[in-house]
């Protein structure tokens, strides 16, 4: 009698666990297929949206593993395992990892923002985090920059995204600004004419916008001018050097001096004993 009851109970357990196992296995297989499909579709969608390839692959893989983790928790629930405790453990572990990798997560978040908003791209000349150079690579955690004197800098993304970013390659044309001080003895109109002719004589400059010459101040030792010349971004350095040379030569040919800082000292008259 007892043997029959034991066999019947054993059969019920086997049938029950067999059904649960079959359901869990089916859930895992379906979740595996769905996770792969979601990962592929998400990756293709991000690529079509022209999101950076590194970020696209990371997000696609993250979505895949999130779906599989939820499936595993679902399987544990099928077998009657309380998953609330697992969620609490995962949350606590996530908090501990977040605190341990606070700087790394900040760099990751900044890298995602740089890849999404695109303040600059690879091969752009930028000035950020106190450094200047050409962007070699934009990673998830750091950005690689080659300085103009050929030094390789690897800068954390949080330092770049948290500072002012100057993208020197964004506009196709740039303006060279040449400040110069001339003697007070020179007439304003004559200086303007000489500096304007100097600016217009610079090779490789742009005709539109046209060069401009403006008075910027009356300093203690000189009348200060600024010469503005526009150029293509690739020719900016050459045009700037040409403008400096043309300004100095034109002022020398016109007999207009470029004074150095000087001070006049007046002594009161005193009777000599």
Can you list the domains of the chain with their CATH numbers? Answer: 2-100 (1.10.287.1260), 119-167 (2.30.30.60), 173-253 (3.30.70.100)
**Residue 91 or residue 44, greater confidence:** 44
Mean pLDDT is lowest, of 59-63, 76-80, 157-161, 179-183, for 76-80
* Residue 193 reports pLDDT greater than 90: yes
* Residue 13 reports pLDDT greater than 60: no
The proportion of the chain whose per-residue pLDDT surpasses 70, expressed as a percent, equals 77
Render pLDDT for 90-140 as a digit per residue (tens, 0 to 9). 676 666 656 555 677 788 889 888 888 889 998 999 999 999 999 998 888
Task: Starting at the earlier edge strand, list the strands of the sheet with 125-128.
Answer: 152-156, 142-146, 131-138, 125-128, 166-167
Angle among Cα 164, 169, 173 to the nearest 5 degrees reads 120
Render pLDDT for 19-42 as a digit per residue (tens, 0 to 9). 667 777 777 788 888 888 888 888
Token reading at 82: 């309380």
Average pLDDT, the chain: 82
pLDDT of residue 250: 94
Cα dihedral angle (107, 111, 113, 114), rounded to 10 degrees? Answer: 130
* Residue 5 reports pLDDT greater than 60: no
Hey, which bits of the chain come out as E strands? 125-128, 131-138, 142-146, 152-156, 166-167, 173-182, 212-218, 223-232
């Amino acid at each position: 009698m007892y043997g029959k009851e034991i066999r019947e109970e054993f059969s019920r357990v086997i049938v029950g666990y067999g059904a649960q196992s079959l359901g869990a296995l089916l859930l895992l297989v379906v979740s595996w297929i769905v996770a792969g499909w979601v990962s592929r579709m998400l990756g293709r969608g991000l690529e079509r949206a022209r999101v950076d390839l590194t970020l696209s692959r990371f997000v696609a893989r993250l979505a895949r593993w999130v779906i599989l983790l939820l499936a595993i928790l679902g399987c544990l629930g099928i077998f009657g395992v309380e998953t609330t405790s697992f969620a609490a453990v995962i949350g606590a572990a996530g908090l501990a990892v977040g605190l341990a990798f606070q700087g790394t997560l900040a760099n990751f978040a900044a890298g995602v923002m740089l890849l999404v908003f695109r303040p600059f791209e690879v091969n752009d000349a930028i000035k950020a985090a106190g450094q200047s150079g050409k962007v070699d690579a934009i990673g998830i955690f750091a950005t690689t920059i080659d300085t103009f004197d050929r030094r390789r800098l690897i800068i954390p993304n949080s330092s770049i995204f948290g500072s002012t970013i100057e993208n020197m390659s964004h506009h196709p044309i740039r303006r060279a600004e040449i400040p110069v001080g001339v003697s007070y003895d020179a007439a304003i109109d004559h200086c303007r004419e000489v500096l304007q002719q100097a600016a217009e004589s610079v090779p490789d400059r742009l005709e539109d916008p046209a060069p401009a010459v403006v008075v910027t101040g009356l300093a203690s030792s000189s009348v200060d001018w600024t010469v503005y010349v526009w150029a293509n971004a690739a020719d900016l350095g050459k045009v700037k050097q040409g403008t400096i040379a043309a300004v100095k030569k034109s002022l020398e040919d016109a007999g207009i001096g470029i004074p150095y800082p000087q001070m006049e000292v007046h002594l009161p008259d005193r009777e000599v004993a």
